Amino acid sequence: MAFRFIHTADIHLDSPLRSLAMRNQSLAEVVGDASRQAFVSIIDLCLAERVDALVIAGDLYDGEQTSMKTARFLASQMTRLHQAGIRVLKIRGNHDAMSRISKQLVFPDTVTIFGGRPQSVLLKSGGLDVMFHGLSFANPKAPESLLPKYAPAAEGAANVGIMHTSLAGSPGHDVYAPCNVAELHAHGFDYWALGHIHVRKVHPGTRMVVMPGMPQGRDINEAGEKSVTLVTIRDDHSVEIGERPTSVAQFERAVVDLNGATEWSEVVGRIRSALEDIRASVRSRHVVARLGLTGASPLSWAIIRDRDLLLAEAEQAAEQMGETWIEKLELGLSQPRTETPEGVMDPILELAESMRTDIRSEAFRAEARALILKTIADLPPDARDFAGSDEAARELFLDSVLASGADLVVARLKAGGSQ
C-alpha cells in the first residue's frame, strides 16, 4: 500500500503589494487574494486526491503577520484537513520565523509544526512506515547548514526530510541554511521536501530531492504556472512524483512585434492577438500580462506620447476576454530609417541627443536623484521601494526615468498633433 502526500512551500500568505496596488486597485485585489485562493486549491487537491499528508516546507507566512483574519482563514483550512484525517507536517522558514501570529495559532492535533530542534514523526499507511524528519528556523537568519542536525535514516521505514534551504545559492535569494545537493542525496533519506527557492526544480541523483517552487506567483518576476508536487511512496520505498497546478493568477511576459505598423488600430489589433494567444495557453483562472512592444514603426513617437491611451485600449481588450489583465506596457520601439539630405540634421533629433548628453551629467543626475529620495521619504513605508530597495536598484531606476523622460519630450515634438 502506498503513502501519498502533497509537498509545497513558500506560500507567503497575504504578501503585501506595492507598485501594483498604486496603479490598479482592481488588479491588486485579484493578486492580493491569490495566495489565499492558491492555498485553498492546495487543500482542495489534498481532499480530492485523498492523500495521507500535506507537507509545508517553510514560509507559509510572509513576515510579521498580526492579522486575526489570517488566523481564522488558516484555522478553517486546517480543520478541513483534520476532518478528512489528513496530517499536516510543517517547518518554519525564514519568513515564518519573523511571524508573530505563527507562534500564537492553535491547530488541531493532526498538525505537526517542527521546532527549532530536530524532530522525527512516524506516520503509517497500511503496512508502510514513513518517518518525517524536520527542523524549523529558530531565527530569521540561518547562515550555517542544518543538514548535520538531521537524524540518520530510520531503518525499515521510508524516510522524508523537510528542509528550508537556499542550497548552494540562487539569484534573487539570500543564503539560508546552505547545503550541497550531493550531501542531501548521500544522507540516506528517500525524499527531500525542500523550500525557499521559488522556482520548481527536481535535483537528479540517487535519491529524490525536490524544490517545489511556490504555488502562486506575486509579480512579473515570478511568472509562469505555479504548482505543488504530489508524492507517492510505494511499499518498496520507491518514489514517484507528479506536478499539480495551483496558481490562481498567472503572470506572463509577451512580445508584441509592431514592425511596419502604420495605423493605431493595427497596433491595438496586434496587442489583442498577443493577449488571445496568452489567454489560450494559460490554465490559471487569471492572466496578468506584461507586454513588450518592439519593432520599427512610424507610430513609435505617437505610441510613446500616448502610452496611457494605448494602455487603456489594451486593458479594454483584456477585459473583454475575461479575467485577463495588463500589468505593464514596456516600449522598445524604433523609428523606421528615413533618408535626409546630406549634412542636414533633424533639429528634434539633434535636441534629443543634446538632452541625452545632459542627463548623463552628474549635476543633472544629482538633482533628479534628490527628487526621487524626497518622493520616497514622503510615501508610506509599504510604497517606498517603487524605485528599488537599495542604491544600485535606485540608480537603474534613475537611468530608466531619465531616458524615458527624454523620449517623451521628443515624442511630443515629433508626433505633433497626429495620432
Residue 214 backbone class (left: φ over 0; alpha: ψ -120 to 50; beta: rest): beta
Domain extents in the chain: 3-245, 249-338
Pairing of strands 3-8, 227-233: antiparallel
Across 199-207, average pLDDT = 94
Q: Are 54 and 81 in contact (CB under 8 A)?
A: yes
User: What superfamily does domain 3-245 belong to in CATH?
Assistant: Metallo-dependent phosphatases (3.60.21.10)
- Share in percent of the chain as helix, strand, coil (round to 5): 40, 25, 35
pTM of the model as a whole: 0.84
Closest CA to 272 of 310, 308, 309: 310
Q: Which CATH architecture has domain 249-338?
A: 3-Layer(bba) Sandwich (3.50)
Residue 418: strand, helix, or coil: coil
CA distance 139 to 404: 43
Give kind and range of the element (H or E) at residue 256.
strand 249-257
Provide φ and ψ at 382, rounded to 5°. Answer: -70, -15
Written as one letter, the residue type at 118 is P
CA distance 413 to 419: 12
pLDDT over 90 percentage in the chain: 60
Mean pLDDT of the chain: 87
Which grid coordinates are listed for 337?
530609417
Question: What are 148's three cell numbers?
Answer: 548535520
Q: With contact defined as beta carbons under 8 Å apart, do 24 and 10 qualify?
A: no
| SS3 of residue 61 by DSSP | coil
- Per-residue pLDDT, averaged over 220-238, amounts to 96
The pLDDT-based confidence of 174 (bands split at 50, 70, 90) is low
Mean pLDDT, to the nearest integer, of 269-279?
Answer: 97
CB atoms within 10 A of CB 205: 13
Q: What angle do CA 208, 51, 247 make, to 5 degrees?
A: 75
Q: Determine which of 316-320, 354-358, 372-376 has the lowest per-residue pLDDT on average.
A: 354-358
Residue type, 285: R
- Least confident segment among 51-65, 313-327, 389-403: 389-403
- Give the pLDDT band of residue 419 (cuts 50, 70, 90): very low
DSSP H/E element including 72: helix 68-83
| Whether 372 contacts 387, CB under 8 Å | yes
The C-alpha torsion from 405 through 325 and 332 to 301, rounded to 10°, is -60
Cα atoms in the Cβ-side hemisphere of radius 13 Å centred on 34: 30
pLDDT of residue 57: 97
Give the span between the Cα atoms of 177 and 167, in whole angstroms: 7
Nearest CA to 373 among 358, 393, 394? 394
How many CB atoms are located within 10 Å of the residue 162 CB?
28
**83 φ, ψ to 5°?**
-65, -25
The set of cell numbers assigned to 248 is 490562481
Residue with cell 497575504: 14
Name the DSSP letter for residue 173. B
Phi, psi dihedrals of residue 308, rounded to the nearest 5°: -65, -35
Q: Is the pLDDT at 275 greater than 70, yes or no?
A: yes
Grid cell 543564503 in the structure block, residue = 175
* CA atoms within 13 Å, Cβ hemisphere of 385: 10
Question: Under DSSP, is residue 131 helix (H, G, I), strand (E, B) or coil?
Answer: strand
User: Residue 214 above 60 pLDDT?
Assistant: yes
Alpha helices per DSSP H over 84-136: 94-98
266, 303, 23, 10: CA torsion to nearest 10? 70
User: Given a cut of 80, is residue 143 above it in pLDDT?
Assistant: no
pLDDT band at 231; cut points 50, 70, 90: very high
Name the band, by pLDDT with cuts 50, 70 and 90, for residue 358. confident
Other C-beta atoms lying within 10 Å of the C-beta of residue 418: 11
Structure confidence by residue, pLDDT tens digits, 339-356: 556 656 667 767 666 777
Quote the CA–CA distance of 364 and 371 in Å, as a whole number: 11
CA end-to-end distance (rounded Å), the chain? 69
